[in-house]
Amino acid sequence: MAKITLQNVSKQYKGGEIQALKKINLEIEDGKFFCLLGPAGAGKTTTIKLIAGVEPVDGGKIFMDDQEITDLLPNQRDVAVAFETYALYPQRTVRENLAFPLRAPMRKKEWSEAQIQARVEEVAKLLGIDDLLDRLPRQLSGGQRQRVALGRALVRKPKAYLFDEPIAHLDAKLRHRMRGELRRIQLELGITTVYTTPDQLEALSLADQMAILNEGKIEQVGSPTEIYQRPANIFVARFVGDPPMNILRSEVQGEEVTLLGLTKLPLPAQIRSRLAAAEIERSLMVGVRPRDIKLVSPSSEQALLRGQVKYVQVLGETSILTIVMDSHEVRVKMNTQDAPNRGEAVGLNFAVQDCHFFDPRTELRID
């Protein structure tokens, strides 16, 4: 088990044309399930490759516990990696692929043949691939191959697991099951795990701690709850949470804020002092999550904004409504059984305590 630390780590490609990682700092605590969340191209795979040692850093240092590992070879790092692209040995059966890490020369004699077979079967069963053990990779579907790649990492108990979108190619149901299995295995073994995903729900449901990565930079680090409740900037606010947080262009005037140029909302003293401290004089971004908005009658005094239902997207028990007003759209998440019909006029109500405030110049959270 190990703590992993990245200090000012940079990586570039194409002779510096692409800055994949820009001096990132991370501290991944021992025994934690750590998710790296970010859109495609953010630098997630690059981070995993640098920790694994399959690519060199261009700047900065990497530590495992207090040992610097920046220049160690991959096999000197005692990490097990599963990449999104499976890289299985094509001429070897699933059984042989799974057994491979246990037979590595540096681990000779650690495992008897009987122990290897038992461990391979145990992991195969766990991942639901025990009936595929005698097949070759080309005789498997993408999702099956991905599970073999994951299994090849899980057969060992290294200091850290590095999983790069390890279940991206499974169908929704299996992905859900695998998430649960991975979390259970990790809790059982207590092995430090770095797990990348572009799926915010996956990160929120798996992580002890998470980092949001965007264009090679860390936007925020925290627990899922901290990040959801107090997003550090507009990017995180919109990336975490589904559908994304509504961001309303607003203007502060004295004790009130005008939302979208349409309606005035009184600002409590505590929020006004926060805005003053941030030197917000006029322009402000007000964020409100779709599930923090209540629908009320458009004629009600409680209606802060009024609009018309443009779309209703039913997702089983909940529905996502798109409400239009002037040239703006606001999304609302609510119980399907209470949802209005398309075309209906509605009023929107929300509490100022549920609003998030951002500085339009820096896009940073204000508080």
Binding site for ligand ADP (CB under 6 A): 13-14, 18, 20, 38, 40-46
Segment interacting with Mg ion (CB under 5 A) among 45-53, 100-108, 221-229, 333-341: 45-53
Segment interacting with Mg ion (CB under 5 A) among 43-51, 64-72, 110-118, 223-231: 43-51
307 binds, among Mg ion, ligand ADP, none (CB under 5 to 8 A by kind): none
E strand residue ranges, 199-338: 209-214, 217-222, 246-253, 256-259, 263-266, 283-288, 294-296, 305-315, 318-325, 328-335
Cβ 148 to ligand ADP shortest distance, Å: 21
Task: Please tell me the distance from the alpha carbon of residue 7 to that of residue 60, in angstroms, as a whole number.
Answer: 5
Task: Please tell me the distance from the alpha carbon of residue 330 to that of residue 289, in angstroms, as a whole number.
Answer: 10
Cβ 237 to ligand ADP shortest distance, Å: 20
* Residue 5 engages Mg ion in binding (rule: CB under 5 A): no
46 binds, among ligand ADP, Mg ion, none (CB under 5 to 8 A by kind): ligand ADP
Residue pair 164/84 in contact by the 8 Å Cβ criterion: yes
Identity of the residue, 24 or 182, whose beta carbon is nearer to ligand ADP in the bound complex: 24
Cβ 132 to Mg ion shortest distance, Å: 26
Identity of the residue, 24 or 275, whose beta carbon is nearer to ligand ADP in the bound complex: 24
* 3-class SS of residue 84: coil
Q: Which residues of 77-104 are buried (b: 16+ CB within 10 A; e: fewer)?
A: bbbbbbbbebebeeeebbbbbbbbbbee
Cβ 54 to ligand ADP shortest distance, Å: 11
Identity of the residue, 94 or 162, whose beta carbon is nearer to Mg ion in the bound complex: 162
Which phi and psi angles does 315 have, rounded to 5°?
Answer: -120, 60
Cβ 216 to Mg ion shortest distance, Å: 13
